[in-house]
């Protein structure tokens, strides 16, 4: 069973333009494909349950989507002055390796692997990916690729795929991962009977681990692991993320309910837990997310955690000083996994792009206000704030990249007619790159000087300069499954 075959079947069943949730689907299918007969039966069932959840959610809510879309108003004008102006970010990913694109490749009946393509369009590396179904990571500076296995993590140079170092990791299924902004630490959220957070020093290879309290009866909506009544003890939902100073670390777990938020600190390189808070305890009240996928970012100089639920489109805000809920903004998401969250690097805005390109929403994270949705204009000559000038745009769904320029001033939208360059915050079109290309996803090199775009048929990679000149077509050996990026939706 291959991911592309399954997606094709689902597309035919829905008879609509469909964009997959690549990491959820690929990881779920990988869990089924890689489960060996000698492994416990739940490994098969958990993977199948996740696949069915991902597919079933889309199919079940399709009729809801159609009804909601017919009732949505997209005509409210959005004025640029109502959005904060972007804060230009320094260009820090300047190493040669950070300019090389890495893609996950898969074809039916074959093991997935990675390839690397440099700014000249030359393939410079290939890595077989047979170790761990969780995925592969790219470091915060873009210079290193990390591949986990059952007991270790292997680091490869993003420049040429050469082995750099091997790190030991604790036993258990990987639930979440995060790199510190300064590049010194890798944190792993692991499930092995209970939950634990392992912190690996990437300079020395040493590590520390702390347990995280975990409700053995935590709710996992949409999942079941027969013959057991639930996936309790076998599956956990959670994510971890660092604050901007790289000394504070947070874990958001059990978001199906009861939600737990835990805080940790690095004091003189000693890893300690400082606080934990649970829904329903000490007067705290948290919302719940009914699926396995969330995206999060810490903003406002480390004071606020923002989390987006891919199932219902709710955006949660947590005060990290008190570990309390500080608000919820409900976006207009007509279908689970229909919106792709794009946080701007300055932490001021969250764009929510609909996968079919029908509309765009934006949340002002400081004011906690939602603007939109607004329709995608059909006239290429039409000007207007917060608008795209293309009929169909596919920056949405659970994207494998966050297509924003390194300086945080431009957003790139893959369309059926090239790549649109949009100005932040109002999304005024600045340029169209590679016209005629039916683009699927976009990745921007660390210095912003090279743009990489995959085609909608997953067979071609286009490499071009930041201004769209000197485009080069690279035929992929198999079907592309997405980019390996430092950030993704």
pLDDT tens sequence for the chain (489 residues): 333 333 333 333 333 333 333 334 434 433 333 332 223 333 333 343 343 344 343 333 333 333 333 333 343 444 545 789 999 999 999 999 999 999 999 877 778 899 999 999 999 999 987 545 568 999 999 999 999 998 999 999 999 999 999 999 999 999 999 999 999 999 999 999 899 999 999 999 999 999 999 988 899 998 866 555 556 678 899 999 999 999 999 999 999 999 999 999 998 879 999 999 999 999 999 999 999 999 999 999 999 999 999 999 999 999 999 999 999 999 999 889 989 899 999 999 999 987 644 567 999 999 999 988 876 443 445 454 354 333 344 444 566 788 899 999 999 988 888 998 888 988 888 889 999 999 989 999 999 999 999 999 999 999 999 999 999 999 999 999 899 999 876
Report the alpha-carbon distance of residue 190 to residue 197 in Å, rounded: 6
In angstroms, the CA 398 to CA 481 distance is 12
What pLDDT is attached to residue 114?
94
The pLDDT, as a whole number, for residue 375 is: 60
Residues 6+ apart with CB under 8 A from 469: none
Report pLDDT digits (tens) over 440-478.
Answer: 899 999 999 999 999 999 999 999 999 999 999 999 999
Residue 422: the pLDDT is 86
Per-residue pLDDT at 226: 53
How far apart CA 37 and CA 49 sit, in angstroms, is 18
pLDDT at position 245:
95
Q: What is the pTM of this model?
A: 0.82
**pLDDT for the residue 108:** 77
- CA distances to 81, 370, 425, 432 from 385, in Å: 10, 15, 9, 17
């Amino acid at each position: 069973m291959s991911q592309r075959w399954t997606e094709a079947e689902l597309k035919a069943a829905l008879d609509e333009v469909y964009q997959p949730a690549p990491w959820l689907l690929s990881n779920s299918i990988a869990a089924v494909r890689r489960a060996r007969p000698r492994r416990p039966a739940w490994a098969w069932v958990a993977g199948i349950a996740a696949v069915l959840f991902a597919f079933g959610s889309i199919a079940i809510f399709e009729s809801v989507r159609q009804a909601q879309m017919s009732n949505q108003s997209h005509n409210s004008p959005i004025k640029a002055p109502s959005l904060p102006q972007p804060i230009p970010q320094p260009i820090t990913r300047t190493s040669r390796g950070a300019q090389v694109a890495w893609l996950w490749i898969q074809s039916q009946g074959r093991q997935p692997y990675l390839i690397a393509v440099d700014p000249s369009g030359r393939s410079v590396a290939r890595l077989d990916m047979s170790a761990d179904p969780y995925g592969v990571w790219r470091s915060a500076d873009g210079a290193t690729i990390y591949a986990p296995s059952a007991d270790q993590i292997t680091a490869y140079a993003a420049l040429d795929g050469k082995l750099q170092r091997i790190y030991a990791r604790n036993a258990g299924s990987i639930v979440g991962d995060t790199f510190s902004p300064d590049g010194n630490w890798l944190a792993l959220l692991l499930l092995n009977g209970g939950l634990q957070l392992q912190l690996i020093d990437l300079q020395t290879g040493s590590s520390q681990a702390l347990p995280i309290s975990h409700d053995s009866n935590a709710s996992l909506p949409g999942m079941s692991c027969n013959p057991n009544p639930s996936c309790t003890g076998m599956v956990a939902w959670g994510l971890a993320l660092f604050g901007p100073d790289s000394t504070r670390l947070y874990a958001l777990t059990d978001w199906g309910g009861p939600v737990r938020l835990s805080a940790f600190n690095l004091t003189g390189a000693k890893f300690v837990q400082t606080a934990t808070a649970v829904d329903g305890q000490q007067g705290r009240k948290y919302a719940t997310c009914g699926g396995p996928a969330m995206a999060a970012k810490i903003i406002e100089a480390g004071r606020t955690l923002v989390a987006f639920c891919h199932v219902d489109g709710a955006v949660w805000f947590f005060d990290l000083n008190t570990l309390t809920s500080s608000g919820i903004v409900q976006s207009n998401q007509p279908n689970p996994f229909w919106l792709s969250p794009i946080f701007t690097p300055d932490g001021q805005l969250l764009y929510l792009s609909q996968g079919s390109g029908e509309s765009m929403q934006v949340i002002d994270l400081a004011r906690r206000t939602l603007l939109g949705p607004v329709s995608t204009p059909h006239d290429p000559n039409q000007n207007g704030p917060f608008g795209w000038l293309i009929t169909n745009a596919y920056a949405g769904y659970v994207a494998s990249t966050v297509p924003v320029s390194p300086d945080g001033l431009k957003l790139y939208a893959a369309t059926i007619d090239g790549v649109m360059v949009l100005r932040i915050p109002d999304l005024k079109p600045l340029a169209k790159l590679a016209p005629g290309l039916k683009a699927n996803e976009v990745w921007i090199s660390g210095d912003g000087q090279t743009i990489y775009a995959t085609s909608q048929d997953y067979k071609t990679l286009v490499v071009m300069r930041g201004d769209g000149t000197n485009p080069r077509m690279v035929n992929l050996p198999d079907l592309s499954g997405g980019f390996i990026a430092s950030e993704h939706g």
